[in-house]
Amino acid sequence: MVSFLGRTGRFAIEQVGGMGRMFSFLMSALALAFRRPAKIYLIIHHIKTIGVESLSVVALSGFFTGMVMGFQGYYSLRKFNAESFLGSAAALGLLRELGPVLSAFMVTGRTGSAMAAELGTMRATEQIDALDSMAINPVKYLVSPRIIASLIAMPLLTAIFDVIGIFGSYIVGVNLLGVSSGSFFAGMESSIVFHDVYSGFIKSLSFGLIITWICCYKGFHAPPMATGVSQATTESVVLSFVFILVWDYFLTSIML
């Protein structure tokens, strides 16, 4: 009994300690992001990696998500003779929920995992120690620019996902299922308000921060061996997905 309590206590202390370290890592990366000199060239480089290089996969997944929403929306709305609201239903779903969440998943899978693997390898090959020994703060050099880049790139990727998704649902709804083009856009125009766009923007911004924070933290603190890097990569992706969904629930409940 005593040993069970001891183990439980140790586990709880480790978990709380781990959360504290993660939070302090984020605070230090954010504080260093605003300390001069600004690493503009690194921010641009990471915008390219996170944003430009994720564009094709985000666009493709947005297009197919929109098409699926076209089919599913049409099927549901037809039961209430409300097919003309397809544009409105698809746009609301994409702007408020699916756009930010699915584009965040795509970026986690494509870029977040790569971030964790890259930083984990740098840890294993002493490149992070080398930065430290050259009196260059590795968090400022490696993490802060990635955080700023993801805050810029994520909302843009989400916007592209939303637009292409709406286009996909338009193709299915109007061209395949015969919903009128006018009612598709009219329904959308009458039901979408700025708050819908704004809530999607806030979500994408916070998801960008979550992805970079978790993936950089896991990579940065990966055990210095091959299995350590693979473990950090897996953990960073799984934890990012979970954090995105949990945070999405809280944001939705606040911003509904």
Partner 1 sequence: MIKVANLHKSFRSQKVLKGVNLEFASGKITTIVGTSGCGKTVLLKHLNALYLPDSGEIFIDGVDITQLTQKDLYEIRSKFGVLFQGAALLDSMTVFDNVAFPLREKTRTSESDIKKKVDARIEQVGLGEMGGKFPAELSGGMKKRAGLARALIMDPQIVLFDEPTTGLDPILATSIHQLISRTQKEFGFTGIVVSHTIPQVFDISDYVAMLANGVIENIAPPQAFCASENPAVQQFIHGKTEGPIQVL
Choose, by CB under 8 A, the member of 18, 31, 44, 129 that binds partner 1.
Answer: 129
Neighbour tally for 48: CB within 10 Å = 12
C-alpha span between 27 and 78 (Å, rounded): 50
Q: Looking at this protein, which amino acid is placed at residue 212?
A: T
Alpha helices in 98-225 (DSSP H): 99-107, 113-124, 127-133, 138, 144-170, 181-191, 194-220
Nearer to partner 1, 12 or 130 (CB): 130
Nearer to partner 1, 38 or 245 (CB): 38
Residues 102-121 that bind partner 1 (CB under 8 A): 121
The helices-and-strands tally (H runs, E runs) of the chain is: 12, 0
Choose, by CB under 8 A, the member of 13, 27, 31, 136 that binds partner 1.
Answer: 136
C-alpha span between 55 and 138 (Å, rounded): 28
For the CB of residue 120, give the shortest distance to partner 1 in the complex, in Å: 13
Nearer to partner 1, 222 or 244 (CB): 222
Output b/e per residue, 242-253; b: 16+ Cβ within 10 A. ebbeebbeebee
130 binds partner 1 (CB under 8 A): yes
Choose, by CB under 8 A, the member of 1, 2, 5, 134 that binds partner 1.
Answer: 134
135 binds partner 1 (CB under 8 A): yes
24 binds partner 1 (CB under 8 A): no
Nearer to partner 1, 113 or 204 (CB): 113
Residues that bind partner 1 (CB under 8 A): 121-122, 125-127, 129-130, 132-137, 141
